[in-house]
Amino acid sequence: MNNFIDNLAEKLTPLAGKLGSNRYLAVLRDAFMLSFPLTMFGSIVVVLNNLPFWSDDLKGTLGGLFGNGQNATMSIMTIFITFGIGYYLTRSYDEDGIFGGAVSLSSYLILTPFNFTTADGAEVSGALSLDRLGAKGMFIGMLAAFIAAEIYVRITKKGIVIKMPEGVPDAVARSFGALIPAISTLTIFLMLNALVSGVFTTNLHDVIYTVIQKPLVGLGSSLPATLVSLFFVQILWFFGLHGQIIVNSVMDPIWNTLALENLDAFKAGEALPHIITKPFMETFTVGLGGSGMTLMVVILMAFVMKSRQMKDIGRLAIGPGLFNVNEPVIFGLPIVLNASIAIPWILTPLIVTTVNYLSMASGLFPTPTGVTVPWTVPLFFSGMMATNSVMGGVLQLIDFVIVGVMWYPFLKVVDKANLALTFEEDTQASDRTSLQGAQSKN
């Protein structure tokens, strides 16, 4: 077992390190975090407007009064993502991030059709459709932002800029410095859009959505792909690497797109199209005590196990664990590189996620609506918020029990080993004391 772990660590650790330090994945992660406060506000508005005990008439009234809270945040999340990608990518090259962000956002909008067809078939021109600024435009927005920022930076790095003389205000000098790179980048995107719309009579939004986004979203919403992602989260954590950050930087664009599609359906009163979404992953995995679902684990350690070491670590970890922070138990038990608990650590999230997926697919429990729930919200409450139903919290409690059943026998093994070690140390200490007493008498 130890040889297997050593060999696995030797192969996985360098790969995880490369992913964790990858410029583009780091930029993507930071861009999503830029939008987090805004999407959180939008989620709170959606939850308050659609509480289960409101009447349909009241929901309609609240939607009319406060609906823009979501329209101006979650529904146009791609705008914030594209700006964030341009900003952070440009800044990673030590160039002025604010202009990179603005150019990336403008490049994305150049590729976006300013017309749409309403539900009754009417053509509307000179206007943007919300879905192209949200879920449907997510992948074209990310691609446009990355490419635009790269072009902008490369032109800037080559020194093809207007340099103002000394004494010119900094804001003016920066603006003129960005002029040629910005115009060049936007011209490329304008020509690309003209080519696609003029020659092929379509738009890149629809092309990317059909060719790339739809297949990727379909794959990411499947149970097997989700289990593979969770497996790597657990494996990476086992070797002391932050699996959540590494895996989420790859999967977040897909899971967030799925969440936005669910949220649009929820607002329209339609059936939710997806089970796997970002809120599903946050609420029914991390929301059970952090990565690896360890809240029940620390409770068992604190109140059921007998060794002093287990009790102390468990009681220390309960407070943070209630808010889904579990580093105290990951590094205190420890879970990292601890072969004796590798099986429950890796398998439990996979089993619980499978149970949750099947329970929601069968209709026994509600699916997350797509609203963003802070990952620090405690168990039960986060389940209710994510699904807009008390049954979401009930499902978390069932998960809680499953985790306990999976972990208990392995914790008992570790507990007995700790007790045996403590007994041996106490015996040796007692023998040394007796020996010292006998020597002092002599």
- Summarised one tens digit per residue, pLDDT across range 150-188 is 999 999 999 999 988 888 888 888 999 999 999 999 999
The residue out of 160, 195, 218 marking a domain boundary is 218
> Do 186 and 307 belong together in one domain?
no
Query: What pLDDT does residue 425 have?
Result: 57
Last residue of a domain, one of 183, 218, 253: 218
Residues 3 and 83 in one domain: no
pLDDT at 442: 55
d(CA 388, CA 383): 8
Residue 85 structure tokens: 């990608």
Beta-carbon count within 10 A of 432 CB:
10
Residue 117: strand, helix, or coil: strand
Task: Give the closest residue to 182 by CA, choosing from 204, 213, 156.
Answer: 156
Structure tokens at 308: 């002093």
The answer to whether 405 and 412 have CB atoms below 8 angstroms apart is no
Whether this model's pTM surpasses 0.75: yes
For residues 346 and 234, membership in a common domain is answered with: yes
> How is residue 20 written in tokens?
């964790």
| pLDDT score for 19 | 64
Q: Which of 41-55, 116-130, 420-434 has the lowest mean pLDDT?
A: 420-434
Spell 382-421 as b/e; 16+ CB within 10 A means b: bbbbbbbbeebbebbeebbebbbebbeebbeebbeebbee
pLDDT, one tens digit per residue, over 371-393 is 988 888 999 999 999 999 999 99
Whether residue 257 is found in the same domain as residue 206: no
Least confident window among 1-15, 69-83, 109-123, 175-189? 1-15
Judgement on whether residues 202 and 237 belong to the same structural domain of the protein: no
Question: 279, 215, 360, 305: which is closest to 39 by C-alpha?
Answer: 279
* pLDDT (tens digit per residue) in 240-271: 777 787 888 788 889 999 999 999 899 888 99
Residue 139 resides in a domain:
yes
Q: Which domain holds residue 224?
A: 1-18+220-432
Range name among 17-26, 33-42, 94-103, 127-136 with the lowest pLDDT average? 17-26
Long-range (24+ apart) CB contacts under 8 A made by 422-430 are 422/307, 422/308, 422/309
Mean pLDDT of 206-232: 89
In terms of domains, do 420 and 273 share one? yes
State the Cα–Cα distance between residues 261 and 224, nearest whole angstrom.
Answer: 20
Indicate if 169 and 273 belong to the same structural domain.
Answer: no
Q: Considering the domain boundaries, does residue 93 fall inside one?
A: yes
Note the pLDDT of residue 426: 56
Same structural domain, 225 and 200:
no
Q: Using the 3D structure, point to which of 218, 245, 278 is the last residue of a domain.
A: 218
Mean pLDDT confidence for 304-316: 91
What percent of the chain is modeled with pLDDT above 90?
46
Task: Please indicate, yes or no, whether residues 138 and 110 belong to a single structural domain of this protein.
Answer: yes
Q: Is residue 31 part of a domain?
A: no
Whether residue 211 lies inside any domain: the answer is: yes
* Other CB atoms within 10 A of residue 18 CB: 11
- Residue 35 in any domain: the answer is no
Q: For the residues 21-43, what does the mean pLDDT come to? A: 86
Q: Is residue 45 in some structural domain? A: no
**What's the total number of domains in the chain?**
2
Q: Are 276 and 255 in contact (CB under 8 A)?
A: yes
Burial 97-128 (b: 16+ CB within 10 A, else e): bebbbbbbbbbbbbbbbeeeeeeeeeeeeeeb
Residue 52: inside a domain: no
Same domain, 92 and 228: no
Q: What is the pLDDT of residue 10?
A: 63
164: left (phi over 0), alpha (psi -120 to 50) or beta: beta
Residues 261 and 142 placed together within one structural domain of the fold: no
Residues 227 and 179 in one domain: no
